[in-house]
Chains A and B, each alone.
Chain A
């Protein structure tokens, strides 16, 4: 950690490789006649035209909306189910085999099934995203609740702290480091499922657009769509990191003081 040095240097280190790769791509693809690998310059120009136009919103907004609904529903349900399951050995014994089974199902195969129940609208896509994202959140929440400190639990009990305060001031914050681990693991899963579900059956969305470009051999557009997905992934993980830093500041401080002591 300390070997990284001051902030400007850290930023320089973080950006060095991406900049080199982009430069290499730019130079090697410059003037490319290959239909499948157009010059990066063309892709960037297309990117600007395509994704900074009002028309683009009709694809990006639905995608992000589905992702948000599915991901947040998974986060809420994963935590809400994970807490009682983590707290009760009996509940775990009953639920664990079932959960293991559901977790083993690859979420994309649910798309055809869910189309039957939920149609091809936003609900179906949000459900697929939710189904994929819920497992890391749920399993990590269970682990987090199980790992709650026993002495702290006895403290809570001996001061007769009520149910709600117990949940809010003890269980949730105590399990939050692992809950956040689960939420972080769910992030890329959600993006993948967003795109995949839109490729199957959709009339808009980034995944839908990508398939359209591919079918019409609009290669620069397709490449620019892939770049857009990468950027969305990075922005989401930056937002996630900012929230995590805020909520888990105590945890990183605690870890550091334990390492030092």
Chain B
């Protein structure tokens, strides 16, 4: 067999063939299913993380629950959800949101803890009211730590979406199943390259955002 690893003509034909499994459509679905859980996760993690930072007794139970969720195989979660949300993107998005929470809640709590006590005290002493202190002092200072968590959440979300292919909603993950079933490597290689590229781009975007948002953060060599 002198089958090449990558057949460029396959890529050219399948990049945008109008069908539901064209690479372009799969890529778009992949982005949506990876992106939504991280954004929704962040929106949930901020208030929940703040509550945990404020009421310490909440923290351990919350982290405990999140770790259990994190340890569940995604496939198991998909099967449970199938009976409720069916073979839709939602069935993939919900478990991934839970996974991202497991990373983001501790990140928000750690971020709040990264605010030095003397800074918090001096904010109080200057006459900041609690809400303003939170939004103008504590949250901005927590940003670098939260963004570090966001990088982990985004990259793992992008890689985990593929598993959804097992229920027909895996974005680029479809290419792995397709390639494996046909013993044809080109889709697999295309899938890997795109997933990795997506992860790198997401990571880079967050790094740039961090540089822009927190010029004050001490750069560590």
Asked if A and B bind, the verdict is no
